[in-house]
Amino acid sequence: MVELVGIAAGATLTLVVVALHYAKGTGWEAPEDISQQVLEQRAATVPETDFPEPYNRSIGGGAPAGAIPAGEAEGELEEGEEAEEEAGFDPDSIADDEVEYYDIEFAKEGETIEVANNETILDAGEDEGWDLPYACRQGQCISCAGHIEDGPAEDYIRHSQNESLFEDDMEDGYCLTCVAYPVADFTIETGESP
């Protein structure tokens, strides 16, 4: 019988200790959430840029394929020669009485619309309610590229800026619709890149 009393007393004591432990609590509290601080610290280590994203021509790099490394271009300037800075076309410099309109056929959309020479091909298409591809809207990627079926792009459009297309691409009829202004009537296939 002594064993039975000892076991009962041990069980009772254990139950009392467990009850007191749960009633009082452990005192452990979850640490504060530091995830936002970690993200801010990581963001602070990334250098700031002055251009909107995305600018990568493809995954893994922002330089166009086949880019020529510095110092290896043909026809480099001699010492003392100054480079003529290639200035882009400024559509805002066109006076209101000099604005001209051209018939642009959008092949995939199956419609022809009038586009002013101070309005981009992309803006004109969006004004029609078409969902045309684009990303940077500054001529620095090829997301908005289109193909002019009628011949070299330079015969039909002027770019206000072009940092992505090579001369060969433009000779093949490719243009950047976000910065392309018409100078003649033509047919374009949007969403086509070189």
Return the higher-pLDDT residue of 57 and 98.
Answer: 98
126 in Cβ contact with 183 (< 8 Å):
no
SS3 assignment, position 77: coil
| pTM to 2 decimal places | 0.55
What tens digit of pLDDT does each residue of 58-112 get? 444 444 444 444 444 454 445 544 443 345 667 778 888 888 999 999 999 999 9
Burial class of residue 120 (count of CB atoms within 10 Å of its CB; 0-12, 13-18, 19+): buried
Please give the average per-residue pLDDT across 105-134, as a whole number: 92
Confidence band of 171 (pLDDT split at 50, 70, 90): very high
Amino acid 67: pLDDT: 47
The residue assigned the tokens 């009628």 is 150
The residue assigned the tokens 């019988």 is 1
SS3 assignment, position 96: helix
